[in-house]
């Protein structure tokens, strides 16, 4: 029983004793058995225990299967061959290893497209008890050399049934590239088995042959794969045996190749990026050929975002979504969308354009289904995604734009609209919104709720419209119960309502004409909202009690009329009329009640209106009226007015017509049952501005120290504000167009008088300077500022006293000085005379010259001076003063003078006292020349230099060479060189020469006496004034000056001719010295 159990349970399993032991036995058996073992059967006796009978197996193989003993068995192996041998041993249970049967690969199916291997095998589980754990080791080998690529352990649980196990493996290398092999072995964890357990043997390798083993198999693999961005890819190029591979490129890049076999090479591309729209080319260039593949690298689709479904017509449900990132795959590999509705199980595939950002897919509305459970499926070769949405379609109604909007009914205040919406809205109510636009009211929206119908026309009535108004209408609709979205606005339609009578009578006022004979009635135009049409005319009637005094029809656009009323009063009523009818009448009485104490106030606008306030008048039962004119000027004013209830005491008058700087006059009237009473006048400005023009002013009066200025008022129109005063400024200043205004000139003397007393129209400016020009400027000013200045220039009158004083004082001073000078001169007349006009003695009276006269007289009769031998006459000057003569003596007696004379060729006998010498050759020379040189008869000054007689250097022949055309003869010694040059320029001015070269005071005679005759330069430089000369002016008009005449002339000169003699020796005369002249005799 036990035996059978064991056998039945384990009969298929291999119960091996410890392998080496059993093997040894078997080998031993074989060695013992020798060559004849095949023919000889062996007998194996197995004894389980002492109790059980022996079991004998007669076998020819070297293995025997025996049941596993409970603890141990005894085994006796007997060889029944020729060589008898017996082996006997015991096998214990714990020594028996458990080795599962080698698994058998049922199938190995490659999927080349995904490079996946599918391995299938049976676990043989039926032979094992339930629940054993089995481990399967699978080995993948590659290439011809069978390199182990990977080895994985697969775990399974045995279920006491034969189960086909399956395992997938994805290769990183395409299966076409090279052969792949798969082996499997197992290990069963039989827990209750006491002996050792071991892995089974490897199953025989199952092979998936690569293309490189196929004859003629070539190409680049994998072929046209689609992979996700970032994948690592391996491509291989399989070619014929006889071909050589050149290179392999992925895109434009060349990669290094790995050799897989003699016919196969691979490249590895890491982190692939998105390929272009036609895919990235992988090209394998062979020596004489080309292989290639295209790889498509892209993204798995994103989950669709913002999936939203709605219907516009209950026929089609439109779902929209945002697709997210583009997959980078195109054509067949593009991302595809399908809309699946779970409730109905209906599936719709969506044709989606690549161009649109928002993808749209339509799904038909199913009958009797309100709720839709949509699943939007997205897929592409790399991946898939989905997004779901549950919608109640009645809550997702987005009607189409209403069409055919028309106006059907129309009166002055109501209008009927019709429009059409395409779609069957039978299941929902529609809410439509009508937009009402008119030119003079704000945009209004009017909502209309209406039951939906199938492709139907809808109507709406609009009431409370304004008569005679152009309206624009447009409509949009949505679902009323569950608002989702408005449709677009329909096209607009325009309609004008018809006219109605004006809503009220016009606002009226009346005024008596200045003459009081007629009454002018004014009315204000009604506002657009009150006219209800175009106003055609106003009807004005005048009733006294019940009798109609006058009735007038005034056509537009006049807003006033005049009623000849005389002195009587009446009640005026005005009615506005348009095409549709008349307004209710407005009434006003013409009665004006007398008033007293009417004051006039001033008011300036604060903010945007002029504030007028008044005391409360309790007897004004029907309110107040403020009336004003819209122009302060002379033209007929545009009357305007405003009414206030009787409880008001102030009013802010606003008007768009008010302008700054314009004076407005307001009149406040109180309304009593009897009529209107003037209560108050107000003048006001919207804003005060500086006066427009300068005030006119004139100078009334001027005196030497004051100016009286008078001015005129500025006209009210030009004042542009309430006049506050005047500024009179003045300063000294001449009239000058370029001069700036006084106020701007910054003149420090500027004085400004501010005149605030407006009644004052003149002013006297005091403390001015006489006969001075003043600039005056007058400016008026208001609260708004200063007017432009008006300028005047005024010269003050002369101050006569001052002038008189100014004349008298210098005159008096001059007279006084004159007197003083006279007195002085008188007192000092002696001294003056001595100084300025010394008495010159008459040489004729000199006894020393008596002989000369005789000679001269004798000359007429006798022979004149004898020249040869030259015996110069000498003039001896005898000085009374002690010092001078001594000096003269030494000078005159100097030997140098004596030695020079003979050289001159003048054989004169010089005496000691000779000072002035006469030398005939000089005169000869001088006189002989002029007739030839100057036949024109020009004047010639001849100097007879007495001292030059002693100068041998100055030869007579040389003199013309010194360019002294006009000079010859005697010259003062010291001017030999200088005065000669001077004369050149001043030849006619003899008198000047006289002064310089002529007579000189002899105070310095000692000086020129000191000069040696042979050094004239020193004389010249030291004694400029020590000249001694005779000046002879010859006016020759073909005048011949004979030698003898000259001699006579000289005589005359010496005798002291009154006009030609400048030979003065003042000192000498004064001191009473005598002149000795030795005239040479011929």
Question: Which residues sit at the interface with another protein, rule CB under 8 A?
Answer: 220, 223-224, 249, 251-252, 275-283, 288-294, 330-331, 354-355
The residue (of 283 and 983) whose beta carbon lies closer to another protein is 283
CB of 433 to another protein, least distance (A): 40
Q: What is the 3-state secondary structure (H, E, C) of 456-485?
A: EEEEEEECCCCCCCEEEEEEEEEECCCCCC
Among 331, 391, 323, smallest CA distance to 363 is for 391
Q: Which is it for strands 289-298 and 226-228: parallel, antiparallel or unpaired? A: parallel
C-alpha 921/C-alpha 1082 separation (Å) is: 12
The residue (of 277 and 745) whose beta carbon lies closer to another protein is 277
**CB neighbours of residue 378 within 10 Å:** 25
CB of 26 to another protein, least distance (A): 58
C-alpha 148/C-alpha 144 separation (Å) is: 11
Scan for tokens 């697969």, then name that residue. Answer: 154
CB of 303 to another protein, least distance (A): 24
CB of 219 to another protein, least distance (A): 8
CB of 227 to another protein, least distance (A): 14
The residue (of 252 and 597) whose beta carbon lies closer to another protein is 252
Dihedrals φ, ψ of 4, to 5°?
Answer: -65, -35
The residue (of 251 and 362) whose beta carbon lies closer to another protein is 251
The residue (of 359 and 510) whose beta carbon lies closer to another protein is 359
The CA distances from residue 770 to 534, 795, 799, in Å, are: 77, 8, 6
The residue (of 175 and 188) whose beta carbon lies closer to another protein is 175
What order do you get walking across the sheet with 939-943 strand by strand?
Answer: 967-968, 939-943, 1031-1035
- Is 384:296 a contact under the CB 8 Å cutoff? no
CB of 282 to another protein, least distance (A): 8
- Is 1047:864 a contact under the CB 8 Å cutoff? yes
CB of 243 to another protein, least distance (A): 12
The residue (of 280 and 586) whose beta carbon lies closer to another protein is 280
C-alpha 726/C-alpha 759 separation (Å) is: 11
The residue (of 156 and 281) whose beta carbon lies closer to another protein is 281
The continuous run of DSSP H or E covering 921 comes out as helix 920-928
The residue (of 280 and 1009) whose beta carbon lies closer to another protein is 280
- Is 96:193 a contact under the CB 8 Å cutoff? no
State the virtual CA torsion across 90, 93, 97, 98 in degrees, nearest 10. 140
- Is 518:455 a contact under the CB 8 Å cutoff? no
Task: Read off the DSSP letter of residue 172.
Answer: S
The residue (of 257 and 856) whose beta carbon lies closer to another protein is 257
C-alpha 654/C-alpha 630 separation (Å) is: 12
The residue (of 290 and 803) whose beta carbon lies closer to another protein is 290
C-alpha 969/C-alpha 918 separation (Å) is: 11
CB of 320 to another protein, least distance (A): 21
The residue (of 329 and 914) whose beta carbon lies closer to another protein is 329
Would you say how long the chain is, in residues? Answer: 1082
CB of 175 to another protein, least distance (A): 16
N-terminal to C-terminal alpha carbon distance within the chain: 220
The residue (of 329 and 1034) whose beta carbon lies closer to another protein is 329
Q: What's the token pair of residue 414? A: 């109501």
CB of 220 to another protein, least distance (A): 7
**CB neighbours of residue 60 within 10 Å:** 10
The packing angle between helices 990-997 and 978-985, to 10°, is 160
Among 988, 898, 977, 982, smallest CA distance to 940 is for 988
CB of 223 to another protein, least distance (A): 5
Environment class of residue 685 by beta-carbon count within 10 Å: exposed (0-12), middle (13-18) or buried (19+)? buried
CB of 319 to another protein, least distance (A): 23
Environment class of residue 334 by beta-carbon count within 10 Å: exposed (0-12), middle (13-18) or buried (19+)? middle
CB of 298 to another protein, least distance (A): 11
Sort residue 549 into left (φ over 0), alpha (ψ -120 to 50) or beta: alpha
- Residue-wise DSSP of 811-880: HHHHHHHHHHHHHHHHHTHHHHHHHH-PPPPPGGG-GGGHHHHHHHHHHHHS-----SS-----PPP--S
CB of 348 to another protein, least distance (A): 24
Q: What's the token pair of residue 577? A: 């009329």
The residue (of 43 and 285) whose beta carbon lies closer to another protein is 285
Environment class of residue 773 by beta-carbon count within 10 Å: exposed (0-12), middle (13-18) or buried (19+)? middle
The continuous run of DSSP H or E covering 888 comes out as helix 883-892
Q: What's the token pair of residue 690? A: 């500086």
The residue (of 280 and 948) whose beta carbon lies closer to another protein is 280
C-alpha 591/C-alpha 511 separation (Å) is: 10
Radius of gyration (C-alpha) of the chain in whole angstroms: 78
CB of 460 to another protein, least distance (A): 46
CB of 326 to another protein, least distance (A): 12
The residue (of 224 and 857) whose beta carbon lies closer to another protein is 224
The residue (of 288 and 842) whose beta carbon lies closer to another protein is 288
C-alpha 680/C-alpha 664 separation (Å) is: 14
Among 597, 557, 574, smallest CA distance to 519 is for 574
The residue (of 48 and 337) whose beta carbon lies closer to another protein is 337
CB of 287 to another protein, least distance (A): 11
CB of 325 to another protein, least distance (A): 17
């Amino acid at each position: 029983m036990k035996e059978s159990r064991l056998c039945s349970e384990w009969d298929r399993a291999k119960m091996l004793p410890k392998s080496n032991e059993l093997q040894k036995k078997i080998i031993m058996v074989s060695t013992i058995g020798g060559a004849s073992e095949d023919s000889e059967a062996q007998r194996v006796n197995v004894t389980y225990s002492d109790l059980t009978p022996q079991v004998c197996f007669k076998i020819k193989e070297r293995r025997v299967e025996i049941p596993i003993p409970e603890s141990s068995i005894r085994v006796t192996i007997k060889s029944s061959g020729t060589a008898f041998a017996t082996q006997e041993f015991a096998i214990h249970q714990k020594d028996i290893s458990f080795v599962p049967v080698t698994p058998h690969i049922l199938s190995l199916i490659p999927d080349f497209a995904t490079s996946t291997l599918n391995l299938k095998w049976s676990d043989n589980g039926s032979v094992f008890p339930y629940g054993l754990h089995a481990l399967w080791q699978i080995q993948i080998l590659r290439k011809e050399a069978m390199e182990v690529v990977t080895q994985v352990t697969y775990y399974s649980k045995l279920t006491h049934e034969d189960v086909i196990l399956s395992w997938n493996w994805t290769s990183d290398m395409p299966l076409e590239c090279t052969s792949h092999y798969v082996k499997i072995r197992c290990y069963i964890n039989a827990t209750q088995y006491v002996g050792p357990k071991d892995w089974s043997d490897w199953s025989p390798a199952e092979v998936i042959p690569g293309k490189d083993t196929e004859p003629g198999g070539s190409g680049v693999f994998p072929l046209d794969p689609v992979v996700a961005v970032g994948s690592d890819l391996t491509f291989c190029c399989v070619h014929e045996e006889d071909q050589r591979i050149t290179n392999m490129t992925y895109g434009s890049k060349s990669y290094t190749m790995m050799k897989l076999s003699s016919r196969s090479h691979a490249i590895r591309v890491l982190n692939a990026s998105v390929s272009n729209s036609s895919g990235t080319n992988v090209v394998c260039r062979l020596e004489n050929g080309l292989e290639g593949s295209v790889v498509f690298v892209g993204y798995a689709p994103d989950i669709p975002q913002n999936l939203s479904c709605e219907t516009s017509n209950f026929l089609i449900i439109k779902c929209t979504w945002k697709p997210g990132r583009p997959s980078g795959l195109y054509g067949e590999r593009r991302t595809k969308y399908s809309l699946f509705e779970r409730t109905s199980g209906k599936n719709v595939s969506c044709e989606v354009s690549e161009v649109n950002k928002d993808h749209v897919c339509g799904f038909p509305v199913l009958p009797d289904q309100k709720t839709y459970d949509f699943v939007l499926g997205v897929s592409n070769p790399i991946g898939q995604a989905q997004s779901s949405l549950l919608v109640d379609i009645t809550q997702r109604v987005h009607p189409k734009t209403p069409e055919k909007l028309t106006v059907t009914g129309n009166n002055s205040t109501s209008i009927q609209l019709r429009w059409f919406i395409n779609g069957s809205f039978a299941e929902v109510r529609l809410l439509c919104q009508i937009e009402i636009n008119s030119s003079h009211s704000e945009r209004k929206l009017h909502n209309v709720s209406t039951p939906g119908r199938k492709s139907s026309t809808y109507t709406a009535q609009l009431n409370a419209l304004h008569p005679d108004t152009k309206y624009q209408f447009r409509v949009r609709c949505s679902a009323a119960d569950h608002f989702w979205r408005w449709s677009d606005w329909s096209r607009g339609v325009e309609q004008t309502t018809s006219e109605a009578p004006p809503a009220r009578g016009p606002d009226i006022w009346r005024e008596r004409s200045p003459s009081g004979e007629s009454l002018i009635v004014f009315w204000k135009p009604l506002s657009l909202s009150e006219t209800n049409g175009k106003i055609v005319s106003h009807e004005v009637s005048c009733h006294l009690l019940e009798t109609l005094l006058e009735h007038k029809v005034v056509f537009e656009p006049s807003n006033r009329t005049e009623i000849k009323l005389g002195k009587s009063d009446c009640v005026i009523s005005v009615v506005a009329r348009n095409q549709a009818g008349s307004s209710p009448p407005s009434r006003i009485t013409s009665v004006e009640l007398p008033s007293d104490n009417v004051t006039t106030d001033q008011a300036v606008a604060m903010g945007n209106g002029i504030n007028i306030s008044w005391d409360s008048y309790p007897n004004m039962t029907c309110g107040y009226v403020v009336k004003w004119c819209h122009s302060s000027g002379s033209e007929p004013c545009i009357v305007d007015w405003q009414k206030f209830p009787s409880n008001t005491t102030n009013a802010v008058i606003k008007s768009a017509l008010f302008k700054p700087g314009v004076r407005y006059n307001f009149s406040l009237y109180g309304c009593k049952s009897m009529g209107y009473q003037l209560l108050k006048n107000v003048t006001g400005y919207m804003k005060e501005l500086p006066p427009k023009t300068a005030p006119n002013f004139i100078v009334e009066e001027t005196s030497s120290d004051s100016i009286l200025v008078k001015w005129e008022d500025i006209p009210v129109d030009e004042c542009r504000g309430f006049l506050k005063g005047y500024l009179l400024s003045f300063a000294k200043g001449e009239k000058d167009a370029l001069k700036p205004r006084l106020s701007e000139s910054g003149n420090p003397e500027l004085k400004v008088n501010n005149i605030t007393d407006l009644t004052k129209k003149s002013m006297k400016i005091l403390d001015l300077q006489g006969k001075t020009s003043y600039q005056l400027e007058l400016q008026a000013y208001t609260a708004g500022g200063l007017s432009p200045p008006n300028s005047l220039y005024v010269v003050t009158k002369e101050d006569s006293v001052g002038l008189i004083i100014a004349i008298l004082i210098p005159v008096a001073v001059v007279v006084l000085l004159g007197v003083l000078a006279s007195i002085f001169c008188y007192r000092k007349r002696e001294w003056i005379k001595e100084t300025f006009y010394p008495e010159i003695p008459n040489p004729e009276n000199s006894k020393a010259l008596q002989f000369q006269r005789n000679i001269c007289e004798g000359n007429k009769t006798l022979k004149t001076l004898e020249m040869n031998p030259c015996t110069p006459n000498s003039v001896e000057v005898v000085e009374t003063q002690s010092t001078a003569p001594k000096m003269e003596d030494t000078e005159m007696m100097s030997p140098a003078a004596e030695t020079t004379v003979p050289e001159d060729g003048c054989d004169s006998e010089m005496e000691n006292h000779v000072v002035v010498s006469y030398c005939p050759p000089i005169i000869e020379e001088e006189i002989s020349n002029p007739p030839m040189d100057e036949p024109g008869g020009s004047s010639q000054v001849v100097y007879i230099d007495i001292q030059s007689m002693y100068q041998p250097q100055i030869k007579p022949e040389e003199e013309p060479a010194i360019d002294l055309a006009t000079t010859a003869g005697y010259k003062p010694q010291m001017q030999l060189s200088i005065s000669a040059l001077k004369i050149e320029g001043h030849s006619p001015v003899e008198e000047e020469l006289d002064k310089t070269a002529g007579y000189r005071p002899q105070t310095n005679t000692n000086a020129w006496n000191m000069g040696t005759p042979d050094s004239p330069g020193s004389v010249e430089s030291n004694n400029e004034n020590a000249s001694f000369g005779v000046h002879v002016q010859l006016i020759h008009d073909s005048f011949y000056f004979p030698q003898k005449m000259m001699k006579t002339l000289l005589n005359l000169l010496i005798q002291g001719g009154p006009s030609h003699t400048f030979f003065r020796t003042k000192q000498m005369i004064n001191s009473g010295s005598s002149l000795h002249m030795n005239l040479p005799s011929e």
